[in-house]
Amino acid sequence: MNSILVIGGGSWGTAFADYLARRGEDVRLWAREEEVLAAIRTDRENRVFLPGVKLSPQLGVGADLEVEAGRAAILVLAVPSKYMRPVLRRLQALLRGDHALLCLSKGFESDSLRTMSQVAAEVFGPGVLRQWLTLSGPSFARELAQGHPTAVAAAAENEELLGRVQESFSSPTLRVYRSDDLRGLEVAGSLKNVMAIASGMISGLGYGFNTTASMVTRANMEISRLGVRLGARPETFWGLAGIGDLMLTCFGSLSRNFQLGRRIALGESLEAVERSTPMVAEGVETTKAIRRLAENLAIEMPIAREVHRVLFEGKSVGEAVGELMTRSLKREWTTS
């Protein structure tokens, strides 16, 4: 599909760019951090965000976003959600009608409570959704970079574009499924990060699989409840972008959101954890957005609420778990 620019040199953007380069695509990577670009040029390694992984010699890098974007046909957006709007504004004057925008970022904008496609529609106008795709699913960056077979879902309003991307990006390593539930993929991919923080907290308290599996099951109920209210389809939350990604981040210790929750349960502050790593745990910003969304829509989301109380209101993790376990008893299947 012609030349590709991956925007964002974090672990997932780097791994995805490397995957495309190894498939023979004409792909370049842009990163805000000059040390990331320099290390890839000289040592073929992103030592900041994906250390220990040798990158394809075919992967090019560039420091000038506007120049690189002007050359590319596909723009892959892999920046943290809180940086998405500024990046899109930089691209505003450069966007062409033949550009495809493939979003890898998972999160809500905490101030506006918008998903990434909604942010793009505000920046570029609603017509941009004919050029927009979102990719989501159970996919740790390191494992994709190591060639582990991985399956994800891609969603878009433009079925023809969706089919082309599915065909071009699928391989024996990465299998891409099609979906037309863009909102569902965005909600599922964003909220699973909040629940991964909760799972890490459970681990930090020393609880086992009973507790984690119970939380994950109830978490998916919360996620689907909010998603359906926002216009998503229920079945999306039982697919790759839903329960698949949720299980990965809640049971897999490679998740940075899981690790953040675990370290907080072990006694570190949120500020100390965030200062200790250049990597962004998307669940922190998303927790702020989801708390407000749930209140605005009068939707009961007890797990997300307790994560918010621990992160931002000084509640202990042990108290939060106790609160969840002593809520009023109710039927398993409810709509509120």
- With vertex at residue 56, the alpha carbon angle to CA 54 and CA 255, rounded to the nearest 5 degrees, is 55
Helix axes 282-297, 256-265, angle to 10 degrees: 80
CA–CA distances in Å: residue 202 to residues 210, 265, 316 = 10, 8, 12
Catalytic: which of 54, 192, 288, 315?
192
Q: Which of 134, 173, 127, 126 is nearest to 154 (CA)?
A: 134
DSSP string of 163-186?
HHHHHHH--SSEEEEEES-HHHHH
Tell me whether residue 82 is one of the annotated catalytic residues. Answer: no
Residue 79 and residue 133: Cα distance in Å, rounded?
A: 15
Contact 149, 175 (CB under 8 A): yes
What six digits make up the tokens of 297?
């829509």
State the catalytic residues: 192
